Amino acid sequence: MPLKQAAYDHCIELIERRLTKIQAQIKDLEAALASETKSSAGDKHETGRAMVQLEREKMGRQWALAEQERKILAKVKIEHGGILVGPGTLVLTENQGFFIAVAAGELRHRGKSIYCISPLAPLAKVFLGKGVGATVRFNQNTYTITAVL
């Protein structure tokens, strides 16, 4: 499997796992909210309902963020490379690679480290607009771009 496809699949898998986990948490919260409704312990009841509702709203925001990341990935063209680094590109340097799409951590593939990072990440911003042969510095590290896929 090509390196860019592996990075893309890693990101999709992470987002799908995140969505499944959030969905289960929302279901649990809705069950907790339903059981709080059956209680009639006055102020304690209202406090419990409010806490469950706040947690439900938090899960809703996390769900929306994961869906937004899924939409970003849907726009990535795996088969297209680029001359310059931009969102959706895989940047290879002499030691590691960076898939600029969504923040999904490290992927080890065929002995290479690929870091899946958001285009908004400070490191991604240093790479954006650069091409093969360009050298960039970030946090006392120097990276020379060997390929843009």
Length of the chain: 149
Per the structure, the complete domain to which residue 64 belongs is given by 3-74
Cα separation, 88 vs 74, in Å, equals 10
Residues 17 and 52 in one domain: yes
pLDDT at position 113 is: 92
Cα separation, 84 vs 145, in Å, equals 10
Total domains in the chain come to 2
User: Quick one: residue 140, left, alpha or beta (phi over 0 = left, psi -120 to 50 = alpha)?
Assistant: left
pLDDT at position 142 is: 96
Structure pTM? 0.80
SS3 state at 73: helix
10-residue stretch averages of pLDDT, the chain, 149 residues long: 90 95 89 66 66 87 92 84 89 94 93 93 97 95 95
Evaluate whether residue 83 is within a structural domain: no
pLDDT at position 12 is: 95
Which DSSP helix (H) or strand (E) runs through 15? helix 3-38
